[in-house]
Structure 1
Amino acid sequence: MRLLNIRPRGGLAVMLGAVPLLAAGLLYLMASQARHAENPRDKLLPTPEAMAEAVQLMARVDPLTGHAPLLVDTLASLERMGLALAIATAVSLLLGLSLGLLPLLRAKFGPLVAGIAVIPPIAVLPILFIVFGLGETAKIALIVFGVAPVMVRDLAAHVAAIPEEQLVKAQTLGSSTWQLALRVALPQAMPRLIDSLRLSLCPAWVYLISAEAIAADVGLGYRIFLVRRYLSMDIILPYVAWISLLAVIMDVTLRLISRRAYPWAYPERGR
């Protein structure tokens, strides 16, 4: 039995995935207890009880504002993220299909897209703030600028790699360029587009947190950088864990949508 032929499934796969998480949690508890044994007022590694109290406080409705900070921050960040990813996905689908299917466009605009894709998005953030101001537009534009060019390049390369035989057969049957795009390229591009979107979730969250930390009055990134001046790790760590959970939920949702809509793109070996 070779290692590459061992494929854990069901409960075994869940258990194997849970072991590193449990080990990390146990290691944190041991380190936290050790630090608090030396200094009960230590703020670097707060105890689970301290973090639970902080989460309850952030989830409680503030009598001054009438809103729960955790809920308001979450909704604000998800709204920015959702709108930015929707725009980036639409742009990537349109440009990726066009560049991948049409060699003329690929030769003309491919180098431009490749050049934009290697520009560090954080370096462009001051420019976006100058052009769009400190409002929501600049934050959304940063995420779109950060993830869309990479998604376009990936999708264009995938579409360009479609076997030539498929395109020739479709043209032999009388398909136009528009029909080729809709009936041959689009179905094969959609699973790749969703996978590319999944891979873009991490950098998208990085850009969102960066933008909220610099210019925002609400949001998960705003809250983290607001309380850091007080060394409030009991708030920062739960917020980081909450952001991670939201990202995992988004990733799992996209994966389920892709597997349900395009089961042919996921053979048994890839499951």
Structure 2
Amino acid sequence: MRLINQKPSRIARYALGALPFAAVLLIYSVASKLRHMENPQDRLLPSLQQMAAAVERMAFTPSKRTGEYTMWLDTLASLERIGIGMLVSTVLALVLGIAMGAIPRIRATLAPFVGAFSLIPPITVLPILFIVFGLGETAKIALIVVGTAPVMTRTVAQATADVPDELLVKVQTLGANSWQIVTRVFVPMVLPRLIGAIRMGLVPAWIFLVSAEAIAAEQGLGYRIFLVRRYLAMDVILPYVAWITIIAYVLDRAFYLLSRKGLRWAHGEGGAL
């Protein structure tokens, strides 16, 4: 049997998927041990034990100053910002995207503007947002919206425009009004693409969030990373980076499962990644 036709079993898929992670962990452990053999005070590659101790201190030991658990407060602050930002982006993408894809006059009016706006590097807008909204939560959330909403809107607009004309003719023949066409045809048809856009938007959203928190914040995962970097506290930075990765992965899988379970008709036999 040719290699391209050999499909691993479920257990084999899990084992193969875990292999690169195990390899990276092994390589890091060896490199860390070698560096500490040469210099026991090395801080660039902390040992796994040092990082575990840092996690214990940050996540499971109350702060002596405030009595709070620092890592969980940072996590909640970042999740709240990214949650509100992505919610606003999703609503904008759904409303504007369907309007642009379904109504030619709106598409002619907004498509050039949204297309141009989506090409602006969001990080360059951050100083403007801080000037306009101040250093509070609004500017951080606005950065996430600016960085994700235009691209998501274009995705939804294209998905709306791809709805077959034959389907629209049939529902209009059956007497459906504009609101019924939007809610019963366009929304169900674009939901799979919208969820895909959310999954893709979460990647830059985390980048923008960490960037904003690094500049002006008092809590947050990005804030903590940039706070401790001045002390070369890699035993804190690396677990925080790993924790952000885990959260992002869980969110991505959650939206994937939501699409698979709630929109079965939109997935083929193999499904999406």
TM-score clears 0.5 = yes
What SS does the corresponding residue of 1:268 show, helix, strand or coil?
A: coil
What SS does the corresponding residue of 1:197 show, helix, strand or coil?
A: helix
Instruction: Return the offset for 1:171.
Output: 1.3
The reply on whether 1:267 has 2:265 as its aligned counterpart is no
Q: Note the 1:37-48 alignment, pairs <5 A.
A: 37-48=37-48
Question: Could you say which residue in structure 2 is the equivalent of 1:14?
Answer: 14
Question: Could you say which residue in structure 2 is the equivalent of 1:63?
Answer: 64
Question: Could you say which residue in structure 1 is the equivalent of 2:50?
Answer: 50
Identity of aligned residues (%): 54
Q: Deviations over 1:206-247 (max 9, x none)?
A: 000000000001110000000001110000000000000000
Structure 2 CA distance for partners of 1:186 and 1:218, relative to 1, 3 Å = same
Instruction: Return the offset for 1:260.
Output: 1.0
Q: Deviations over 1:150-205 (max 9, x none)?
A: 00001101110111111111111112222111111110111110111011111000
What SS does the corresponding residue of 2:17 show, helix, strand or coil?
A: helix
What SS does the corresponding residue of 1:269 show, helix, strand or coil?
A: coil
Which piece of structure 1 moves more, 177-186 or 134-143?
177-186
User: 2: distance between equivalents of 1:106 and 1:26?
Assistant: 53
What SS does the corresponding residue of 2:46 show, helix, strand or coil?
A: coil
Q: Which amino acid aligns with 1:37?
A: M
The reply on whether 1:113 has 2:114 as its aligned counterpart is yes
Question: Could you say which residue in structure 2 is the equivalent of 1:241?
Answer: 242
What SS does the corresponding residue of 1:20 show, helix, strand or coil?
A: helix
Question: Could you say which residue in structure 2 is the equivalent of 1:100?
Answer: 101
Which piece of structure 1 moves more, 125-134 or 157-166?
157-166
Instruction: Return the offset for 1:127.
Output: 0.3
Question: Could you say which residue in structure 1 is the equivalent of 2:209?
Answer: 208
User: 2: distance between equivalents of 1:245 and 1:116?
Assistant: 31
User: 1: distance between equivalents of 2:144 and 2:189?
Assistant: 26
User: 2: distance between equivalents of 1:72 and 1:4?
Assistant: 47
What SS does the corresponding residue of 1:96 show, helix, strand or coil?
A: helix
Instruction: Return the offset for 1:136.
Output: 0.3
Question: Could you say which residue in structure 2 is the equivalent of 1:89?
Answer: 90
Q: Deviations over 1:84-126 (max 9, x none)?
A: 1111111111111111111111111100000110000000000
Which piece of structure 1 moves more, 100-109 or 234-243?
100-109
Instruction: Return the offset for 1:130.
Output: 0.4
Instruction: Return the offset for 1:7.
Output: 3.4
Q: Which amino acid aligns with 1:44?
A: L
What SS does the corresponding residue of 1:244 show, helix, strand or coil?
A: helix
User: 1: distance between equivalents of 2:47 and 2:206?
Assistant: 27
Equivalent residues, number: 271
Question: Could you say which residue in structure 1 is the equivalent of 2:152?
Answer: 151
Q: Note the aligned Cα RMSD (angstroms).
A: 1.1
User: 1: distance between equivalents of 2:64 and 2:151?
Assistant: 44
User: 1: distance between equivalents of 2:72 and 2:27?
Assistant: 30
Structure 2 CA distance for partners of 1:7 and 1:107, relative to 1, 3 Å = farther
Q: Which runs of 4+ in 1 moved over 6 A?
A: none
Q: Note the 1:246-257 alignment, pairs <5 A.
A: 246-257=247-258
Question: Could you say which residue in structure 1 is the equivalent of 2:36?
Answer: 36
User: 2: distance between equivalents of 1:87 and 1:3?
Assistant: 45
Question: Could you say which residue in structure 1 is the equivalent of 2:80?
Answer: 79
Query: Structure 2 length normalisation: TM-score?
Result: 0.97
| Uncovered stretches (5+) of structure 2, i.e. residues with no partner | none
Q: Deviations over 1:122-158 (max 9, x none)?
A: 0000000000000000000000110000000011011
Q: Which amino acid aligns with 1:17?
A: G
What SS does the corresponding residue of 1:200 show, helix, strand or coil?
A: helix
Query: Structure 1 length normalisation: TM-score?
Result: 0.97
Q: Note the 1:222-233 alignment, pairs <5 A.
A: 222-233=223-234
Q: Note the 1:161-180 alignment, pairs <5 A.
A: 161-180=162-181
Q: Which amino acid aligns with 1:113?
A: V
Q: Which amino acid aligns with 2:10?
A: G
